Structure 1
Amino acid sequence: MGNSNLKLQEEKYENVMKKFKFKESLQHSQLGMVRVYTLKDDNKYSIFEFHKTATTSEEAKLMLAHYKNRKSYNNDYLTQIFFISEQHNQILCQDQTQFIIIGEHFYNNIQNEMKNYLSKNYSNTSQQFSETRLWQIVFQIVNACTYLEKNGRNHGEIKSKNIYLHPDQSVKLIEYNFIYGSMNGYQKALLLNDFQYLSPELLKEVRAKNSSPNVDFIKGDVFALGLVLLELASLSSCEQYYDWVSKEVHIDKIIKANDLLLQRGYSTLFTNLIYQMISEVAIRPRFTDLNEVLSHFENEINNNVDFYSKYQMRQSHQFNIQNSIYTQPYQRPGHINQAQSIYLPNGSF
């Protein structure tokens, strides 16, 4: 009854953990129940530890391959796994394999940063996210999501509370299938009725109760990121633009809210970026497209240089999206021309 045989890496695990001290157990919004430890020499640095059990040898092989593959990911803005322990146990004559996964843990997130601004008198424009800060955030998220896209994955649940902050204020992401077998945001909305920043095409599939939608989930993540940027700049939750009972999103209200960002001092370059992210799926960019455009501004973004005020739209920002399939389903979809997109000296994507 419970004869345990800890074969692999117990000593290595102990060697890793002796550098840390236990702080608390907590319910992580994406990882579930985790144990958090801090570095003995620097309590600002934290790690998480969670346990997952495979009940068959085949599941154990798949699970180990999954975590080893994720451990190999090398991107500055993705949360890192740095240790995997595999322990074999025999319980009631049944062989089980338990995995202990250890990685970076971050207490703070973008939602908390937003709440800090909301706690102040943000009628003063100084009490809001600076545009340079928002360009850093979008650049880092796009960088991480481009890496996932190139590795055949997507984030799957972009929202402000899932965008974590390193102590140096850079972002850190955890994609939905960081944990083997996890559900993405679409599945949570469909099966659990859990609110997500879903795009119109994904909401249509939820209404149809389609468990296997033939939809571009990368572009769904781009839409969600557009809403997160609008949320941060406006300091107002984008949940208000959804009717979650009927599973619809009011694009016209999102456009009006984005227009108001100009009154808060944000540039047309920034508002147009959001417009493109929330445009209809046929013309919405993927992360690789966005990354290509933002790479032109990488040095300015990383060095807090105001580059955005030099690039202005040459036409009204109330572009064809308002006459697109979102509001007039039987019309030919609108197009965003070069003058209405992120304008670069050598053209736009």
Structure 2
Amino acid sequence: MGNSNQRMQEEKYENVMKKFKMKGSIHHNQLGIVRVYDLKDDNNYSIFEFHKTVTTSEEAKLMLAHYKNRKCYNNDHLTQIFFISEQNSQILCQDQTQLTVIGEFFYNNIQNEMKLCYLNENIRNIVQQFPELRLWQITLQIVNACAFLEKNGRYHGEIKSKNIYLHPDQSVKLTEYNFIYGSMTGYQKALLVNDFQYLSPELLKELRAKNPQPNVDLVKSDVFALGLTLLELASLSSCEQYYDWISKEVHIDRIIKANDQLIQKGYSTLFTNLIYQMISEAESRPRFTDLKEVLSNFENDINNHIDFYSKYQMKQNHQFNAYNSVYTQPYQRPGQFNQTQSIYLPNGSY
């Protein structure tokens, strides 16, 4: 896949486009209105084409710099841009610049996988839930992508299941909020158009105050959203139920209880403790770079489909008390933080 992208980056627009057939124009959840093309030799591989016309040279320079910078991002789990063109023209005595951006496009997302494979009554799977290894693969790939963004001074800004795209090989692809120049974060959508988002408690506080520039760690808020997304996938139930969107509050105790119940479904305490850490208070919540360091201890096992977590599975009568919230109780669960930036899992600290 990477070699295919590299070849297209080196080719001219005409040479690239003649290899594709147009599927149609769509309004995409994150990309806006784009044209979608399928590869003639392989319908599983698709691209989007985005056009933007600007009338000021300053805006054109800013947009071009934005897309050129984003095109340099080299991460297997971030949506790639591989072609940018700029055309200048004059219409009715007014200078115009048209930018064309071409990048990877993915029809499928992890929300669809959940609905089609595990919530579809017409499919009689032996396993009626996400295998834990699949969730570890998803977690690792998202963390790697978001850690890359973090190191580049960016963040995703709108993590939820329908924004986690699937490559045809079933690997994860992410498109951060400002992939398209000028796009809004999930917080801004909540503030301006009351769009529901998986916002952290600290972001909800800013939302109640109608603060246009929230004074919070936005990377850690993304980590919280990822924790809820993983809980949604494991429980096969939307985490929207834990929010009171009218009062803009989230019920952490209900989230804790739902996470505890994953143990009854056979998920390991290693996995549930990871979710606990992601939804912990902002001060002790890890960043993606912290999570990447922890997961590096299991990366080879995850990539090689090795079961490393079953020894952390517990019988139902040994499950944790659902009401001993990591937010309110003085004692610590196994796996809980006890100092900033330290991640404790059941078999020790990493």
Question: TM-score of the superposition, structure 1-length normalised?
Answer: 0.89
Q: Is 1:58 equivalent to 2:58 in the alignment?
A: yes
1:219–1:321 CA distance, 2 compared to 1 (3 A):
farther
2:83, 2:103 within 8 Å by CA — same for their partners in 1? Answer: yes
CA distance in 1 between counterparts of 2:108 and 2:192 reads 29
Q: What residue number does 2:153 align with? A: 152
Structure 1 residue 340 displacement after superposition: 3.6
Structure 1 residue 12 displacement after superposition: 2.5
CA-based RMSD of the aligned residues comes to 2.2
Residue identity opposite 1:145 in structure 2:
C
2:270, 2:346 within 8 Å by CA — same for their partners in 1? Answer: no
Instruction: Single out whichever of 43-52 and 165-174 deviates more from structure 2.
Output: 43-52
Q: What residue number does 2:345 align with? A: 343
Q: What residue number does 1:274 align with? A: 275
1:123–1:217 CA distance, 2 compared to 1 (3 A):
farther
1:149, 1:287 within 8 Å by CA — same for their partners in 2? Answer: yes
Q: Deviations along 1:267-303, whole A, 9 cap, x unmatched?
A: 0110111111011101110000100000000010001
1:339–1:70 CA distance, 2 compared to 1 (3 A):
closer
Q: What residue number does 2:211 align with? A: 210
CA distance in 1 between counterparts of 2:124 and 2:327 reads 34
Structure 1 residue 93 displacement after superposition: 1.6
Structure 1 residue 335 displacement after superposition: 7.3
Structure 1 residue 87 displacement after superposition: 1.2
* Aligned partner of residue 176 in structure 1, secondary structure: coil
Q: Deviations along 1:184-223, whole A, 9 cap, x unmatched?
A: 0111111111110000000000000111111000000000
Q: What residue number does 2:47 align with? A: 47
CA distance in 2 between counterparts of 1:81 and 1:29 reads 18
CA distance in 2 between counterparts of 1:136 and 1:88 reads 45
1:122, 1:128 within 8 Å by CA — same for their partners in 2? Answer: no
Q: What residue number does 1:304 align with? A: 305
CA distance in 1 between counterparts of 2:234 and 2:313 reads 18
Instruction: Single out whichever of 39-48 and 290-299 deviates more from structure 2.
Output: 39-48
Q: Is 1:141 equivalent to 2:119 in the alignment?
A: no
Q: What residue number does 1:6 align with? A: none
Q: Deviations along 1:56-84, whole A, 9 cap, x unmatched?
A: 11111111110000000000000000000
1:335–1:146 CA distance, 2 compared to 1 (3 A):
farther
Q: What residue number does 1:229 align with? A: 230
CA distance in 1 between counterparts of 2:252 and 2:180 reads 33
Residue identity opposite 1:99 in structure 2:
L
CA distance in 1 between counterparts of 2:72 and 2:167 reads 20
1:231–1:69 CA distance, 2 compared to 1 (3 A):
same
* Aligned partner of residue 178 in structure 1, secondary structure: coil
Q: Is 1:13 equivalent to 2:13 in the alignment?
A: yes
CA distance in 1 between counterparts of 2:123 and 2:18 reads 45
Residue segments in structure 2 that go unaligned for 5+ positions in a row: 1-10, 338-343
1:155, 1:174 within 8 Å by CA — same for their partners in 2? Answer: yes
Residue identity opposite 1:151 in structure 2:
N
Q: What residue number does 2:84 align with? A: 84
CA distance in 1 between counterparts of 2:304 and 2:187 reads 36
1:110–1:22 CA distance, 2 compared to 1 (3 A):
same
2:85, 2:101 within 8 Å by CA — same for their partners in 1? Answer: yes
> How many residues are matched?
330
Q: Is 1:110 equivalent to 2:113 in the alignment?
A: no
Q: Is 1:322 equivalent to 2:325 in the alignment?
A: yes
Q: What residue number does 1:130 align with? A: 131
